[in-house]
Amino acid sequence: MTAPRPPRWFSAEDIVHGRVSLAGYPFRYIWINATPSSGFRVTVASGSTVAAMVDMVFTAAEMLEAEGWQVVNFEQDGKVAYLRRPA
């Protein structure tokens, strides 16, 4: 039986909090996005939910850049990032 294929999508929050490691990841392209969580619900009262989500994606992208990944593009007003690892 073969192992399940690894995902190409990752939560920015999981990356920032160290719940995901892409060391040894077999593919070159991934995408990350901010998923609303309990932390984001708190920001609704201040009206900055979108800003918090974008900040989470940018922070995760910067952390991955430090590991050799490159940002290809940001979409959905910064709530989604596409990255590649150079060959």
Decide if pLDDT at 38 tops 90.
no
* Model pLDDT, residue 50: 84
Decide if pLDDT at 21 tops 90.
yes
- Measured in Å, how far apart are the chain's first and last C-alpha atoms? 29
Number of domains within the chain = 1
% of the chain residues with pLDDT over 70 = 86
Tell me how far apart the 2 most distant CA atoms of the chain are, in Å: 50
Ranges assigned E (strand) in 1-87: 9-11, 29-33, 70-75, 80-84
Residue 2 domain flag: no
Residue 39 lies in a domain: yes
Classified as helix, coil or strand, 87 is coil
Mean pLDDT estimate for the chain = 89
Residue 50 in domain: yes
Give the strands of the sheet with 29-33, arranged side by side. Answer: 9-11, 29-33, 80-84, 70-75
Confidence grade of residue 44 (pLDDT, cut at 50, 70, 90)? low
User: Domain for residue 1, yes or no?
Assistant: no
pTM for the whole structure = 0.84
Give yes or no for residue 17 having a pLDDT over 60: yes
For 53, the domain range is 9-84
